[in-house]
Amino acid sequence: MLLDDGRRVPDLPLDPEEIGRCRELAAAVTDPVLAFVERHTTVSIERTVLRLLGMNGAGPGGVPLANLAVDELARRGLLGRGAAWWFGLALREGAAAPADVAARIASLPERAPKVEPSADREIRALVAEETRAAVAELRDRVARRDGLRRELGVGPRPHRYLIVATGNIHDDVAQARAAAQAGADVIAVIRSTAQSLLDYVPEGATTEGFGGTYATQENFRIMRAALDDESRRLGRYLQLTNYSSGLCMPEIAYLAAVERLDMLLNDAMYGILFRDINMRRTLCDQHFSRRICALAGIVINTGEDNYITTADADEAAHTVIASQFVNEAFAHRAGLPDRLVGLGHAFEIDPAREDTIARELAQALLVRTLFPAAPIKYMPPTKHKGGDIFFAHAYDVMADVIGAVTGQGIQLLGMMTEAMHNPLLMDRFVALRAADYVGRAWRSMGGELELRRGGLVEARAAATLHRARLLLEEVAREGLFAAIGKARFGDVARQETGGKGLAGVVERDPDHFNPLLDLLEAR
């Protein structure tokens, strides 16, 4: 098969009817969820709208103004009309600065004040105009990013994705520059552990984090500025990614768009399964955040690799494929074209078994073949790594080879010290050196190899696809909420009304007003 970027991968014959059926089923899974999404909003979506309208920064006690305002509205039961409407009311009554708007919202009466229809129309027109201007400004920033990217060009695929995670954004910058000089194409700043459970986005530059660095607008800005500088020095555009996941998916997507990030981790189900975030909340938030990614040309990275770090990678291979069809359907429904849908998977089969390469190759090629226009993101082994760095290094090289032969789009490089600590400078260097060698050495081999008809690889891929279809049949029949309740994905069961953040899901009033969503949906 010839890929868009000119690479060739071995042909994998698959049953087109089975593939078509999987896509129909994925649509059947997502339709009822989207119907729910369209009747609701969330505190994080509403905060995003306020931020777009200029309500950035923090108030007393470091609480972001957007949180202050939205919490006040939610407490009074006024959020169903949309925070933008109340923002407009405050503007109309003379509020000048964002802090002033937040203060006026905080002093609203407990019951919604009556407004004349003409005033209502004025409020909506005023805020719609503000929104259009803010979105135009956002597009300008995105265009600047795309301009630099076009000017300098990006490295060949797969793009080598490296992680920095010192906890201090300034140290992260030094590590990111070093990684870029050694060949990294994408820098991911891992977040401080548990940030996904914060129902606000912290403010400012941060120098203390655990297992990572807080995602803040200022940290995004600092890293993007450093990468712009390094991109120019190296003559190669360096991409930046972070996490639009957890309780602030839409806000992070917006702040990332403002600060010109290139990619975001963003999965429709990850937060539900692995962070116990309420499923209604996540499914609403993922839709809105993906609409922002579509506007800003941000490549999303989905998290199917996580299923096979909990469940057995060999037995659960089909859950990855089924979830990718679902993630793809959600992404398309949010307006993301294939080129922005970085579906995720991983090289995670237990290396103590025999013939794992045939099955890894089958899986990687299956994903590549099913989603030919998507920049597939390939994750390295993590689960079966111990402290033996020499074995781990050899193991990572195998994943690099599979990534090269099967034409993956984005390759996260494994760290030989995976099981020990956050990557050190030398860990990245060693990984990049091996990946560089593999990329060069295997350059054309994907187009040279032909799979034996009916052999191990072909049979395994067909069987996995078939099992994915059976799982999708089941999920479509039961509904996504119920299927997650039965641990169909990642061996984790969650209930529709359980988990964190459910209180932040609010039914839209009939006169709900979200001018950003109106613009995003009109695209």
Partner 1 sequence: MSRAPSEAGVVRPYGDRRDDGAVQLSFVLPLEAGARAREAATAIARQLGLEQVHVAAMERAAEGFTFFVVYARTAAAVDLGALEVPEVTLEHRGFDELNAHALRAVGRRIVVLGACTGADAHAVGIDAIMNMKGFAGDPGLERYPCLDARNLGAQVENVDLARACGAAGADAVLVSQVVTQRDVHRRNARDLVEQLERLGLRGRVIAILGGPRIDHRLALELGYDAGFGPGTRPSDVAAYVVAEVIRRRGTGPGP
Interacting residue ranges for partner 1, rule: CB under 8 A: 167, 177-179, 181-182, 193-194, 196-197, 208-211, 274-276, 309-312, 350, 352, 383, 386-387, 419-422, 424-426, 429-430, 433, 491
Can you say how many angstroms the Cα of residue 515 is from the centroid of all Cα atoms in its chain? 23
In the complex with partner 1, the residue whose CB is nearer, 140 or 208, is 208
Q: Cα(108)–Cα(43) distance, rounded to whole angstroms?
A: 18
Q: Is 377 a catalytic residue?
A: yes
Task: Name the catalytic one among 377, 385, 395, 400.
Answer: 377
Sheet holding 239-243, edge to edge: 341-342, 299-301, 263-265, 239-243, 186-189, 159-164, 410-412, 377-379, 344-346
Closest approach, Cβ 203 to partner 1, in A, equals 19
Rounded to the nearest whole angstrom, what is the least distance from the CB of residue 201 to partner 1 in the complex?
Answer: 17
Nearer to partner 1 among residue 115 and residue 197 (C-beta): 197
Give the dihedral sign, CA 158/159/160/166.
negative
Scored b (16 or more CB within 10 A) or e, 277-291 reads bbbbbbbbbbbbbbb
Nearer to partner 1, 80 or 167 (CB): 167
- Angle (CA) 440-343-489 rounded to 5° is 130
Phi, psi (degrees; rounded to nearest 5) at 226? -65, -40
Name residue, tokens 């009939």: 510
Asked whether the bond before 158 is cis by omega within 30 degrees of 0, the reply is yes
- Residue whose tokens read 């996504």: 480
- Residue 473 or 491: which CB sits closer to partner 1? 491
Residue 376 Cβ, how far from partner 1 at the closest point, in Å?
Answer: 24
Nearest distance, CB of residue 504 and partner 1, angstroms:
18
Closer by beta carbon to partner 1, 62 or else 210: 210
Which residue type sits at 181?
Q
CB of 159 to partner 1, least distance (A): 19
Nearer to partner 1, 80 or 183 (CB): 183
Catalytic member of 228, 305, 396, 400: 305
What span, in angstroms and rounded, lies between the C-alpha atoms of 323 and 468?
9
Whole-angstrom distance, CA of residue 107 vs CA of residue 207? 36
| Closest of 342, 310, 315, 313 to residue 327, by C-alpha | 342
- In angstroms, give the least distance from the CB of 485 to partner 1: 15
Collapse the DSSP code of 267 into the 3-class scheme (helix H, G, I; strand E, B; otherwise coil) and give the result.
Answer: coil
Cβ(328)–Cβ(369) below 8 Å: no
Q: What residues form DSSP beta bridges with 506?
A: 41
The residues annotated as belonging to the active site are 270, 305, 377
